[in-house]
Amino acid sequence: MQTEIAPRPVADADAEIKLDARHVNFFYGDFQALEDASLAVQARRITALIGPSGCGKTTFLRIFNRMHDLTPSTRATGEVLLDGHNVLDPDTDVIQLRRQVGMLFQRPNPFPKSIYDNVAYGPHMLGWSKSRINDIVEQSLKDTGLWDEVQNRLRRSALNLSGGQQQRLCLARALAVEPQVILMDEPASALDPIATLRIEELMQDLKKRYTIVIVTHNMQQASRVSDFTAFMLMNQRRAGEVIEFGPTDDIFNRPKESRTEDYITGRFG
């Protein structure tokens, strides 16, 4: 008798989809950078976008909170539904969108202000009360594991923190406005291995409350931290496409597409 042991269950057909990108195309002027890209991002899970340089990962990520609006002559078509609302609609309140969908960049970019002011900046702009701001600053710094390290020097410049601390401060700044989704664009690429691991551990804590999408060049990082992975590649027209999307376990152990396997095994070139 031959019995198959059931594989570990992963994808849940009834899972809550937080962000749903459907047939997204993106253009820098006449150049198409993204073609027909679709991705259903599950709530309170970490989704990684991987692929070689120039495949449109960061472009795709920046569409989710309309960061591309800041670049002239860009255009996005298709739909990106955040809880059912198409964020690409012209009537979308972009300020509100970016509050709901926060972002962490490749290099830590704290404001040249105090640690406290960095985290309080967003809540202050939202007009929150002083006591509420104090509470959220403390909570955000605790959520990012910084509180114990900085509670006695909250009024000192954020620029005096180490690179890893600065990146966690930027994360605290994003958390302070109570987002639902956090976009991370290679958040650990400028950090040393220990600071990188701290960010990765934080992500595991944060995913209990937030939906996270991360772009990373580091495939070990994608396999370590994410629940789902999308592999992207440039097509013959040099536009980025989503080649394969699925549970990270499948993408890194049993990819369906030979192009995915070639890339993750380092045979792509």
Partner 1 sequence: MATTRTLFDQELAELKTGVLRMGSMVEQAIAESMRALVDRDNALAKEVIARDQDVNELHRQLRERAFMIMATQQPVARDLRLIVSFQHMVLELERMGDHAVGIARAALRLNDMPQLKPYIDLPRMAEITESQVHEILGAVIEADQDKARMIAERDDEVDVLYRRIWQELVQFMVNDPQTVERAAILLFLAKDLERIADRVTNIAEDVVFLHTGRIVELS
Q: Left (φ > 0), alpha (ψ -120 to 50) or beta: where does 51 sit?
A: left
Both tokens of residue 199? 């960010």
Nearest approach, Cβ of residue 136 and partner 1 (Å): 40
Q: Which is nearer to partner 1, 26 or 252 (CB)?
A: 252
- Angle at which helix 115-125 crosses helix 130-143, to 10 degrees, equals 120
Closest C-alpha among 251, 20, 225, 219 to residue 243: 251
Nearer of residues 167 and 221 to partner 1, judged by Cβ: 221
* Shortest distance in whole angstroms from residue 258 CB to partner 1: 9
Q: Minimum CB separation from partner 1 for residue 10, in Å?
A: 13
211 versus 223: smaller Cβ distance to partner 1: 223
Element containing residue 173 per DSSP (H, E)? helix 163-175
Cβ distance to partner 1 smaller for residue 64 or 252? 252
Beta-strand relationship, 101-104 and 181-185? parallel
Cβ contact 202:145 at 8 Å: yes
176/219 with CB nearer partner 1? 219
Residues 6+ apart with CB under 8 A from 12: 42
Task: Tell me which residues touch partner 1 (CB under 8 A).
Answer: 2-5, 7, 219-220, 223, 252-255, 259, 261-262, 264-269
Q: How far is the CB of 88 from partner 1 (least distance, A)?
A: 34
Q: Which amino acid is at 156?
A: R
Shortest separation between residue 196's beta carbon and partner 1, angstroms: 15
* Sheet-wide strand order for 101-104: 85-86, 74-82, 17-28, 31-42, 240-247, 228-234, 46-50, 211-215, 181-185, 101-104
Least separation, in Å, of the C-beta of 60 and partner 1? Answer: 23
Residue whose CB is less far from partner 1, 129 or 220: 220
